Amino acid sequence: MKIAFIGDIVGRPGRSMIKENLRRLRKTEGIDFVIANYENASHGFGMTLKNAKELFETGIDAMTGGNHTWDKKEIIPLLETLPLLRPHNYPLGVPGTGCKIFEVAGEKLAVLNIMGHYGMPYVDNAFRCARDTVAELTEQGVKSIFIDLHAEASSEKRAMMMLLQGQVSGIMGTHTHVGSDDMQISKGTAYLTDIGLSGCRDNVIGMDEKVPLERFLTGVAGRFEVPEKCKRILQVAVMTLDDGKCVQAQKFKIFDDGKTLVTDAWMEE
């Protein structure tokens, strides 16, 4: 089984890079299933029904969320009807789920969406939720399990890797929009602290720099805006799974000028 993961899609620039490149990448790399994080897909905040349909039409199979899941209220009924997840450790009674099982290449693949704690809304314990959910999936005979860990703190992401390595196929971080350079495979688990955004690459975390700079210079907050024009990037992790273990992983950085950088995961012996 070969799966791919795209981090935070930021507005139209991110959506356009996926539309321009994903189907070709699926074909050339033989990808069976694509997961992407949608929480910034509609002008940087949440996702609309229109953009959900647009992204599924590009070749994405399932999408995960985060703290901005609820910014567009029209997503709430979609959590029940489309392959959309929200963080699984929101309290009981919150619409939707953060764990779904899919049939991929004749096998079961579980996608689990977990949200961290530092700087995030109040949610149930991320580590206990992930640990217990993975145990339940394993009892059900699901061997391939991928986790999108939506968190600000790199320490939380690394701690989750230490907790679950060898038990899941992959753990990859989202939320900061800044890609990290620590992709590895350990005990059959692919890990990356943050995959980085897909969208504008020449501003501040995919947003026009005016408001962030004003905030840093004066302390006065404003509304972030996704630029209409910018230099764009698509960041994708591709993992090959065998009996639930990741045996190979690569990160693709595809630029709008036609360049592509591919980095192999470091294999821990």
Task: Please give the sequence-ordered ranges of beta strands (E in DSSP) within 201-244, or none if there are none.
Answer: 232-242
Q: Which residue has the tokens 């196929």?
A: 169
Question: Is the CB of residue 56 less than 8 Å from the CB of residue 41?
Answer: no
68 flagged as catalytic:
yes
- What CA–CA distance (Å, rounded) separates 211 from 72? 22
Letter for the amino acid at 112? L
Set 43, 68, 88, 175: catalytic member? 68
Strand partners, 6: 36, 236
- What CA–CA distance (Å, rounded) separates 130 from 147? 9
- What CA–CA distance (Å, rounded) separates 97 from 92? 10
Residues marked active site are found at: 68
